[in-house]
Amino acid sequence: MSRIGKLPVTIPAGVDVKIDGNVVNVKGKLGELTQVVDGNIDVVVENNNIILNRKDESKDTRSKHGLYRSLINNMVIGVSEGFKIVQELVGVGFRATNQGQVLDLSLGFSHHIYFQIPTEVKVETVSEKGKNPLVILTSADKQLVGQVAAKIRSLRKPEPYKGKGVRYQGEEIRRKAGKAASK
C-alpha cells in the first residue's frame, strides 16, 4: 500500500470540495483549482476528510495513488494558505522591478529581460539598499508558481565561482576555488 496515498487529506474551514466523477474541484479564499483524477482511483469526502482508494492493485494504479493524494493535498493547502517562493538576485548591478504582471530584470546582460508572469501568480519586488534585490512570487497553484520561479532562475543560474545569479532564498551554492595563484 502507498503510505502517502492512505493518508486522508483534511479539509480546513472555508474550503469547499466538489467531486464530479473523476474531476476534483477545490475552492477557497485564495482561488479555485481543478484536478482530473485517474479512473482507477476513487475520491470520497467523509467527515471533513478526502480519502483516495484504489480500484485494483496494478503497478500503474499503485504508482498514481500517492501522486493524486499529493496533488489534491497541494490544492487544499493552496486555496487556504497559498504558496510563496522568494528569489534573490546576487550580483553587482542586478535589479528587478515590476509593472503589473511584467517583471523587468537586469541581470548583467547588455539588455533588460522582460518576463511576463501568468495572471494566477502575484509578483512583488523588494529592493533595499545594501541587500540583494528580491522577487516574491505567490499563488494558490504550487506547480505553476514553482514553474515560473524555475524559469526566472534559468535566465541566470548561480555560477560556482562568485555565486552570482538568481537563487532561491536560503539556497546554498556549492563554491569552487578558482585558479591557483602561481608562485
Per-position pLDDT tens, the chain of length 183: 568 888 999 999 999 999 998 899 999 999 999 999 998 999 999 999 999 999 998 898 988 999 999 999 999 999 999 999 999 999 998 999 999 999 999 999 999 999 999 999 999 999 999 899 999 999 999 999 999 999 999 999 999 999 899 999 988 889 888 887 665
CA distance 55 to 64: 12
Helix locations, the chain, DSSP H:
3-6, 59-80, 142-154
- Contacting residues for 33 by C-beta, under 8 A, at least 6 apart: 25, 26, 75, 78, 79, 140, 141
Three cell numbers written together for 100: 503589473
User: Please, what CATH class does the domain formed by 83-168 belong to?
Assistant: alpha beta
The CATH number of the structural domain formed by 3-80 is 3.90.930.12
CA distance 34 to 58: 26
In single-letter form, the type of residue at position 30 comes to L
Instruction: Enter the pTM of the model.
Output: 0.88
**Domain range summary for the chain, segments of one domain joined by +:** 3-80, 83-168
